[in-house]
Amino acid sequence: MEIPPETIIRFSRFKQFLNVLLAVFMIGLALTIILVPDKYFFTFGSLFRKFMGTMLILAGTHTLYIAIKNIMNRKIQIVINYNGLMTAGASFYSWKNISNAKVVKIGIGKNSSYHLQYRVDGYMHDFELSGFDIGNKKLSELLKLYSDGTANTEKESN
């Protein structure tokens, strides 16, 4: 498999756009639930429906805010190349200093998320992978290829 000299990873605009659509649907559904006229306003069912509609509006608004924020964020989140690795909020580290770089699944079922974990000088870096323009499997393959490529070139030069 041929890989580019450097891979730059950002938030996926397409995935965030899908989140915007989901949020708009949630808010629309919530408004429909709330605005449906009731024969009796102060019944338990009516109040419960209005409460659930309000919670759905809050969840949809939060989802919309996060999605739009990620769409506008074009900053580089991860850089991987033959020299090393950098994640947002961390420095660039050489493969010589990085050990145990891998993509791991944390949690079970719907509560699970994928993280990029790597150790530098005894400190474990943990970077959540969510909404990026590369899949977890592809990122895992690239980590292996770039880090192995560095090891191979170092062995050849010795």
- 149 inside domain: yes
pLDDT band at 127 (very low <50, low <70, confident <90, very high): very high
Residue where one domain finishes, among candidates 72, 87, 103: 72
Give mean pLDDT, residues 66-78.
93
Tell me the sheet residues that pair with 98: 120
Q: What angle do CA 11, 87, 138 make, to 5 degrees?
A: 60
**86 burial class (0-12, 13-18, 19+ CB within 10 angstroms)?**
middle
pLDDT of residue 110: 85
For the ranges 49-63, 85-99, 115-129, 139-153, which has the lowest average pLDDT? Answer: 139-153
150 and 93 co-located in one domain: yes
Q: Which two tokens stand for residue 123?
A: 């400190």
Does 36 fall in a domain? Answer: yes
The pLDDT of residue 154 is above 80: no
- In terms of domains, do 35 and 94 share one? no
Q: Domain check: are 122 and 151 in the same one?
A: yes
**Dihedral sign computed on CA atoms, order 16, 17, 18, 19:** positive
CB 101 within 8 A of CB 86: no
Q: Which domain holds residue 53?
A: 13-72
Rounded to two decimals, what is the model's pTM?
Answer: 0.76
Residue 5 forms part of a structural domain? no
Domain count of the fold of the chain = 2
Answer for the pair 93, 120: CB distance below 8 angstroms, yes or no. Answer: yes
63 and 86 share a domain? no
- 103 in Cβ contact with 87 (< 8 Å): no
Residue 8 lies in a domain: no
CA pair distance 71, 10, nearest whole angstrom: 10
